[in-house]
Amino acid sequence: MNDKQREEYLVMPDAQKKEFLRKEVERIAALPECEHDAAFDALREAVMPKITDLPVKGSDLTYGEYCQMKGLDWRTGVPIHE
């Protein structure tokens, strides 16, 4: 799934998301078995929300933007020492 498809997926109604995922699972199932794990990992990575994209409560920033603005490591919340 490319970035454009991911953006479209994120705004789809739930029924359309379900149908899209069903088709993706069918497509992956048709791949050689040795490619299944990598394909499912790629799909999971594409459709799961990224922690850095989540909104910060009480702010119009995303978590990634907030951490960058405050100089924090987004994985740990610890200040980045340069």
Contact call for residues 6 and 46 (beta carbons, < 8 A):
yes
State pTM to two decimals: 0.58
| Residue 73 burial (10 A CB sphere; 0-12, 13-18, 19+) | exposed
* pLDDT of res. 82: 62
Total domains in the fold of the chain: 2
Measuring CA to CA, how many Å separate 4 from each of 7, 46, 60? 5, 11, 23
The domain of 10 spans: 1-48
User: Token digits for 39?
Assistant: 């394909």
pLDDT tens string 6-56: 788 888 899 999 999 999 999 999 999 999 999 999 888 888 878 888 899
- Is 60 in the same domain as 39? no
Residue labelled with tokens 């029924």: 15
- Is 16 in the same domain as 56? no
